Structure 1
Amino acid sequence: MASTEAPEVLRYAAFTGDPAGGNPAGVVLDATGLDASRMLALAAEVGYSETAFITGRDEARRRFSVRYFSPLAEVAFCGHATLATSVALAERIGTGALLFDTPAGEIGVDTVTGPDGKVRATLTSVPTRSRPAEAIEVDATLAALRWAAADLDPDLPPHVSFAGNDHLVLAAASRARLADLAYDFDALTAVMRTHGWTTVHLVWRESEGSYHARDPFPVGGVVEDPATGAAAAAFGGYLRTLGLVTAPRTVAVRQGEDMGRPSDLTVEVDPYETRVRVTGQAVPIP
């Protein structure tokens, strides 16, 4: 029988060292008595783009079962909520390796305390994959975004990329285009639901090792995500598939800047490995 007691919900800002930045996530460290409807209701009450729920644990092995809920639906995997949960656990049971069993698969996380005393976490994604987006997918998305085909970077073709969830990756030709985001919420929701995408990952390439990103998330009931670890992992797989990574390298992704919640995601890509590593900080929100 599901518990009727309200569990404690922790609140963390992920991919930042500043509680006023990053992407807020709810974390419930003990959700063993909650059913899916109660977790969904709690996520809606919290109101963040995602809340993570630990539904099972083996602390001796540092292994945990985790589910993720947006205010509107369950999501197979969420990077920023994984980061927040990892840091919350590390602060209570000590830093080190953690293992999460998620609906998307097994996610390993390494946690360490940095010189500033704050915990950093590195998640290793499930195997990534990426395919060219079809014209019908791109055209419908551009219409919902109110973008033109000329707004896209021809050197970074549209792809549907996966790292636990599917994300449409679109590269803007300029930073100004990325900054000017005023999309049709209902139209983009419909397109994303039709194709099963969790976010649309909009990027602009500042340099080979530095990108800016924005992630509309209307299917979760949120206009935009300030930091999207799952999309960053999928983007790493995208770069690998395009052959833009020919040796192990680290890519910096800056997200949330245009929302006033700057976030920094570090993406490690190995051309010989389909899994991608994503690193960042998380701090409690007072």
Structure 2
Amino acid sequence: MTVLRYTAFSADPAGGNPAGVVLDARKLDDAAMQAIAAEVGYSETAFLTEGRDGPVIPVRYFAPTSEVPFCGHATVATAVALGAGEWTFSTAAGLVPVLVEPAEGGLRATLTSVEPYVEAVDDLGDVLEILGWRADELDPALPPYVAYAGARHLVLAVAGRERLAALAYDFDRLLAYMQERELTTLQLVWRESAEVFHVRNPFPVGGVVEDPATGAAAAAFGAYLRELKLVEPPVTVLLHQGDDMGRPSRIQVELRPGDTRVRVSGTAVPITGLA
């Protein structure tokens, strides 16, 4: 059993979000997969539980402390590890097609999300206090919503880049807040321009303070932008993530007319020098 290590949403191994990939996990039970994910220590490790030979490939995703239903960056990493072509992953959230093509800097994967949804948030509870944010620091043009495209994410937008850069929070309190609401990450956003956003993603549910690139949240955010008519399809939106962590990541989110699903694209490359 070999654990491959890739970084997704970057052509530089020092950028993006690292993911573990096990291409043949047929002999691993749940406890073994969880233990491997904890040992690898990345925000997620993907396991192909029936190998990679069928037309539909079952995959499961484990963070260091728990299993998650879907992980975008580990999907991109796994698809690139499989090579150029068209792949269909069977995840706990549903079927996720992925197209892998040659691109500058390596291989580029585009996943198509499961059917997304967006729901309004009536009460933010104490999440602003946990983050150390004031209500008047939020961007009224991007109201809080929960968005889903395989996993649930709370979208919170701030009016200034400085507020986003100064992220600090109470890990245990945010973990409890998110568990009560079945959230996978927070999608914290600052809008630079009509089609360029900067985002950060606290991930205490997975035992990780922050994710440097979050494909599942990017897909959910695409659904959010469409639902609130903040962009007009056809459109490709660029998300900057990981800059404040020293792991720059670039995620493209594509919305097409007449198709409610969201496409998320990025490059992935191997992380060399590791067993």
TM-score range, shorter chain: over 0.9
Give the residue type in structure 2 aligned to 1:168: L
- Structure 1 residue 165 and structure 2 residue 165: aligned? no
What's the TM-score, normalizing by structure 1? 0.93
The residue number in structure 1 matching 2:140 is 154
Give the residue type in structure 1 aligned to 2:265: T
Give the 5 Å matches for 1:61-100: 61=55, 63-90=56-83, 95-100=84-89
The residue number in structure 2 matching 1:112 is 101
1:240 and 1:271 in contact (8 A); partners too: no
- Post-superposition offset of 1:139: 3.2
What's the TM-score, normalizing by structure 2? 0.97
Structure 1's 51 and 58: CA in aligned 2 closer, same or farther, altered over 3 A?
A: closer
- Post-superposition offset of 1:151: 1.3
User: Post-superposition, which runs of at least 4 consecutive aligned residues in structure 1 deviate over 6 A?
Assistant: none
- Post-superposition offset of 1:233: 0.0
**What's the RMSD between the two structures over aligned residues?**
1.0
- Structure 1 residue 142 and structure 2 residue 128: aligned? yes
Cα distance in 1 for residues equivalent to 2:54 and 2:91: 19
User: For 1:132-158, what per-residue CA distance to the aligned partner results, in whole angstroms no more than 9, with x for missing partners?
Assistant: 1121xx132111111111111001000
2:25 and 2:51 in contact (8 A); partners too: no
Helix, strand or coil for the counterpart of 1:139? coil
Structure 1's 32 and 133: CA in aligned 2 closer, same or farther, altered over 3 A?
A: same
1:66 and 1:100 in contact (8 A); partners too: yes
Give the 5 Å matches for 1:1-286: 7-57=1-51, 59=53, 61=55, 63-90=56-83, 95-116=84-105, 118-135=106-123, 138-286=124-272
- Post-superposition offset of 1:87: 0.4
Stretches of structure 1 lacking an aligned partner (at least 5 in a row): 1-6
Cα distance in 2 for residues equivalent to 1:161 and 1:102: 18
Cα distance in 2 for residues equivalent to 1:60 and 1:67: 16
Helix, strand or coil for the counterpart of 2:50? strand
Helix, strand or coil for the counterpart of 1:275? strand
Helix, strand or coil for the counterpart of 1:197? coil
2:24 and 2:52 in contact (8 A); partners too: no
**Matched residues, percent identical?**
59
1:146 and 1:184 in contact (8 A); partners too: no
2:194 and 2:231 in contact (8 A); partners too: no
Stretches of structure 2 lacking an aligned partner (at least 5 in a row): none
- Post-superposition offset of 1:57: 3.9
- Post-superposition offset of 1:60: 5.7
Helix, strand or coil for the counterpart of 1:276? strand
